[in-house]
């Protein structure tokens, strides 16, 4: 049997190859979030659009830990959160309120990743927000939006405000709540979150020193902003350079997501 024939036998008969590959990538993203210690029991969410003309999305079954999620266990929903695939689990309605708001207005937001990490939530709860204190932060701050906290996201009336606040940005601090990134692929949403989370942790540690911050020249910040403005280059880096070794890391340390 050729590798191509073996691959096709892995794809369930009720879905396309493209959907199955998106499921594998999204399940991998959930496992990576767990591996990096960013998960929050069964809460927080990552969604990804199913390739095709329908506005269908994949999201986690509510009740599984992130390190348990597999390609086949992900739940398919429409833009209103109606479940389109059979599952013994439902989805978290608060989670899909945030995700559906972004998917509704951003065709390029193929993947939306939302977390409640310690350092990300700490920075989102500070009045100063995330500052361009270092190179890692400057990978994010030129493309960072903010959205004020309105309580647990069960109210669909919040969606227009979230959409307006995000605009065309790809990173967001949800005030008093957590972090959020979007990407044209699961890979780019994950890499953006990696930089956002590291930048928040670096700021928390810098502030904990209690000493004056060494200033960054404005010309250096502007130089990095110009360099990072090319989103096509960022997408290629994430999908071709960063994502394949991350999958190899998962295959070594937390396999099983492809089932």
The CATH number given to whatever domain includes residue 212 is 3.40.225.10
- Average of pLDDT values for 27-47? 96
Taking residue 144's Cβ as centre, other Cβ atoms within 10 Å add up to 18
Q: How far is CA 120 from CA 82, 193, 194, 240, in A?
A: 30, 10, 11, 27
Residue 227 belongs to domain spanning: 15-253
For the entire predicted model, the pTM comes to 0.92
So what's the pLDDT on residue 27? Answer: 98
The sign of the torsion formed by the CA atoms of 235, 65, 121, 158 equals: positive
Residue 7 lies in a domain: no
Euclidean distance between CA atoms 24 and 11, whole angstroms: 10
- Average of pLDDT values for 210-217? 95
Question: Is the pLDDT confidence value at 245 over 90?
Answer: yes
Q: How far is CA 135 from CA 142, 178, 238, 239, in A?
A: 12, 21, 18, 22
Taking residue 162's Cβ as centre, other Cβ atoms within 10 Å add up to 21
Q: Which of 73-87, 94-108, 141-155, 202-216 has the highest mean pLDDT?
A: 202-216
- Average of pLDDT values for 77-101? 84
Q: Tell me the pLDDT tens digit for each residue of 144-177.
A: 999 999 988 777 889 999 999 999 999 999 999 9
Split into its structural domains, the chain has a count of 1
Residue 171 lies in a domain: yes
Residue 4 lies in a domain: no
Three-state secondary-structure class, residue 75: strand
So what's the pLDDT on residue 10? Answer: 57
- Average of pLDDT values for 87-95? 79
So what's the pLDDT on residue 5? Answer: 39
So what's the pLDDT on residue 9? Answer: 44
The sign of the torsion formed by the CA atoms of 233, 236, 241, 243 equals: positive
Q: Phi and psi (nearest 5°) for 146?
A: -130, 145
Residue 129 lies in a domain: yes
Question: Is the pLDDT confidence value at 2 over 50?
Answer: no
Residue 9 lies in a domain: no
Euclidean distance between CA atoms 66 and 12, whole angstroms: 22
Residue 157 lies in a domain: yes
- Given a contact cutoff of 8 angstroms between Cβ atoms, the answer to whether 74 and 27 are in contact is yes
| Residue bearing the bigger pLDDT, 82 or 238 | 238
- Compute the mean pLDDT over every residue in the chain, rounded to the nearest whole number: 92
So what's the pLDDT on residue 101? Answer: 94
- Counting residues of the chain whose pLDDT is more than 90, the rounded percentage is 79
Residue 259 lies in a domain: no
Residue 239 lies in a domain: yes
DSSP-assigned states of every residue in 177-232: TEEEEEESSHHHHHHHHHHHHHHHHHHHHHHHT-SPPPPPPHHHHHHHHHHTT-HH
So what's the pLDDT on residue 107? Answer: 94
So what's the pLDDT on residue 11? Answer: 59
Structure tokens at 43: 């809460």
So what's the pLDDT on residue 1? Answer: 37
- Counting residues of the chain whose pLDDT is more than 70, the rounded percentage is 95
Question: Is the pLDDT confidence value at 37 over 60?
Answer: yes
Q: Phi and psi (nearest 5°) for 57?
A: -135, 155
């Amino acid at each position: 049997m050729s590798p191509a024939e073996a691959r096709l036998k892995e794809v369930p008969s009720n879905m396309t190859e493209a959907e199955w590959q998106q499921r594998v990538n999204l399940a991998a993203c959930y496992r990576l979030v767990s591996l990096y210690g960013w998960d929050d029991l069964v809460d927080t969410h990552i969604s990804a659009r199913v390739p095709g003309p329908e506005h269908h999305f994949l999201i986690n079954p509510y009740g599984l830990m992130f390190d348990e999620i597999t390609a086949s266990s992900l739940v398919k929903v429409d833009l209103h959160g109606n479940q389109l695939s059979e599952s013994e689990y439902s989805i978290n309605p608060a989670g899909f309120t945030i995700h559906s708001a972004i998917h509704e207005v951003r065709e390029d937001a193929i993947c939306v990743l939302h977390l409640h990490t310690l350092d990300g939530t700490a920075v989102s709860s500070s009045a100063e927000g995330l500052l361009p204190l270092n190179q890692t932060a400057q990978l994010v701050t030129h493309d960072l939006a903010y959205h004020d906290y309105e309580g647990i996201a069960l109210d669909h009336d919040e969606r227009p405000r979230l959409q307006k606040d995000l605009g065309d940005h790809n990173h967001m601090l949800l005030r008093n709540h957590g972090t959020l990134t979007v990407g044209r692929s699961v890979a780019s949403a994950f890499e953006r979150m990696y930089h956002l989370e590291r930048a928040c942790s670096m700021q928390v540690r810098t502030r904990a020193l209690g000493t004056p911050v060494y200033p960054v020249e404005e010309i250096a910040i502007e130089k990095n902003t110009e360099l990072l403005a090319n989103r096509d280059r960022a997408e290629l880096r994430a999908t071709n350079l960063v994502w394949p070794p991350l999958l190899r890391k998962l295959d070594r340390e937390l396999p099983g997501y492809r089932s």
